[in-house]
């Protein structure tokens, strides 16, 4: 529930829209009623509607059962980015993102590509978002790193696309709105194939320019259907875009196969089990009208569209899903794979959430020391799954379920202002 002045509103209350309109643009803020005394929120405008959002750095202040709850930022890669690469302005309702990749290409200049080492393509510079970090940020903003039993069977591509686009609203980068530089394929309908193609071409035309000029690039996010060979070079075909291949040269393909070998292997070995392979890329369109990749990064997600990094995390997510647990998945953002982070935070335990850590086989003393510091700093109860032991630990029991509430920012209410 939300409290505005001294009045409480359910998110479905028709009167809430007028109440939000009456205080929008003023110093009065709504409060989430998940805690005694409430937790301050702010109001933003998203696609002409009001959206109530969590104030910066207040995620841990919300009750674990609240959809605005967020584990301490240091348990994921988000901690090093907040205030640097990600700058939230609650007064203006805008978030500014500093990107570590280019959205333009100068004619004759070689395009960057996925590096042959982790350092080349996934930087640890907390001042800028990498491609993967950008995908993780949008995924988290859309709420797809969260899971509750009520979400079972309710996530499919139209939902994924809708909330990723909403997550990109009110985000600025390089002086322009992020959503204007973003293309996410709409669900394919063979009966509307021509209409969809025309809308795609109009969207991608923003990334086209005559030769010998600086070309604008689009950010493309899509589910990979195939990584294959083209007549000249290589291509990726996205699901829902069966009539348009995105091209890449041999160098990018070679580096992609090496840098993201883990993601490709996890997708290949689990594809029949519903695992999805997501790609985020910068794309240019030449004078031929054919889209081609400049930079690209990959991410694997579970059948429930929750990101994971290895087979052990997939097993953990499957077990938590089978046991009807509620959790928040930690995302790595810019962090290197050698840095520990919480695999998941159980948000259904009381009186506090419980962080779950996976200790890889043969973990070094340094790795364990860093993990222990992370656990101590978070001040959350924790459980470790020592892979060397071969046994998944027992998890604390879930508290009695509370009524499921739709995520506070979504759906937004129609504006009357």
Q: Could you read off the pLDDT of 256-296 as tens digits, one per residue?
A: 999 999 999 999 999 889 999 999 999 998 778 889 999 99
Q: 97 - beta bridge partners? A: 86
Q: Judge whether 316 and 271 are in contact, CB under 8 Å.
A: no
Residue 78 backbone dihedrals phi, psi, to 5 degrees: -65, -30
Average pLDDT for 361-376? 94
DSSP states along 377-415? HHT--EEEEETTTT-PPP-PPPPPPPPP---TTSSPEEP
Span 3-10, average pLDDT: 88
Domains of the chain: which residue ranges?
Answer: 1-69, 71-306, 311-386
Per-residue confidence (pLDDT) for residue 304, from 0 to 100? 97
**What is the band of 303 on the pLDDT scale with cuts at 50, 70, 90?**
very high
Judged against a pLDDT cut of 90, whether residue 126 lies above it is answered with: no
Tell me the per-residue pLDDT of 211-242, one tens digit each, with 9 for 90 and over: 566 788 999 999 999 999 988 889 999 999 99
Q: Point out the least confidently predicted range of 113-127, 131-145, 339-353.
A: 113-127
pLDDT one-digit tens code per residue, 62-72: 998 888 899 98
For the record, the structure tokens of 416 come out as: 């009357």
Q: Give alpha helix (H) positions in 126-180.
A: 131-141, 157-168
Average pLDDT over residues 189-202: 94
The Cα–Cα gap between 94 and 248 comes to 34
At 210, is the pLDDT very low, low, confident or very high (cuts 50, 70, 90)? low
pTM passes above 0.85: yes
Work out the average pLDDT over 179-203: 94
């Amino acid at each position: 529930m939300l409290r505005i002045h001294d009045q409480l509103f359910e998110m479905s209350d028709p009167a809430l829209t007028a109440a939000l309109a009456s205080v929008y643009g003023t110093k009065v803020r709504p409060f989430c009623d998940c805690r005694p005394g409430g937790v301050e929120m702010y109001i933003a405008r998203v696609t002409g509607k009001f959206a109530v959002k969590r104030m910066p750095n207040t995620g841990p202040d919300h009750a674990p059962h609240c959809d605005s709850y967020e584990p301490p930022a240091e348990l994921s890669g988000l901690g090093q980015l907040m205030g640097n690469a990600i700058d939230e302005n609650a007064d203006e309702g805008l978030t500014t993102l500093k990107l570590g990749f280019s959205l333009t290409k100068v004619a004759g200049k070689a395009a960057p590509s996925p590096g042959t080492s982790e350092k080349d393509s996934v930087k640890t510079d907390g001042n800028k978002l990498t491609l993967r970090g950008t995908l993780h940020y949008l995924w988290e903003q859309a709420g797809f790193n969260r899971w509750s039993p009520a979400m079972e069977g309710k996530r499919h591509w139209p939902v994924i696309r809708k909330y990723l686009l909403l997550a990109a609203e009110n985000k600025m980068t390089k002086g322009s709105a992020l959503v204007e530089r973003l293309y996410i394929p709409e669900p394919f309908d063979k009966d509307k194939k021509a209409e969809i193609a025309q809308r795609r071409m109009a969207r991608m035309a923003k990334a086209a320019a005559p030769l010998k000029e600086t070309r604008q690039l689009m950010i493309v996010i899509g589910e990979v259907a195939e990584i294959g060979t083209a007549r000249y070079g290589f291509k990726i075909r996205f699901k829902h875009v069966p009539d348009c291949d995105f091209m890449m040269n041999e160098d990018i393909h070679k580096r992609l196969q090496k840098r993201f070998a883990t993601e490709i292997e996890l997708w290949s070995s689990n594809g029949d089990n519903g695992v999805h392979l997501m790609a985020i890329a910068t794309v240019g369109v030449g004078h031929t009208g054919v889209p081609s990749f400049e930079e690209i990064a990959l991410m694997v997600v579970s059948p429930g569209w929750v990101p994971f990094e290895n087979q052990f995390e997939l097993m953990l997510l499957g077990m938590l899903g089978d046991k009807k647990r509620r959790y928040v998945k930690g995302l790595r953002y810019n962090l290197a794979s050698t840095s520990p982070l919480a695999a998941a935070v159980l948000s259904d335990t009381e009186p506090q959430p419980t962080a779950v850590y996976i200790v890889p086989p043969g973990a070094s003393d340094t790795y364990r020391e860093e993990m222990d510091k992370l656990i101590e700093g978070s001040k959350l109860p924790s459980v470790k799954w020592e892979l060397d032991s071969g046994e998944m630990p027992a998890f604390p029991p879930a508290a009695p379920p509370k009524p499921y509430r739709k995520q506070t920012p979504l759906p937004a209410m129609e504006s009357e202002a």
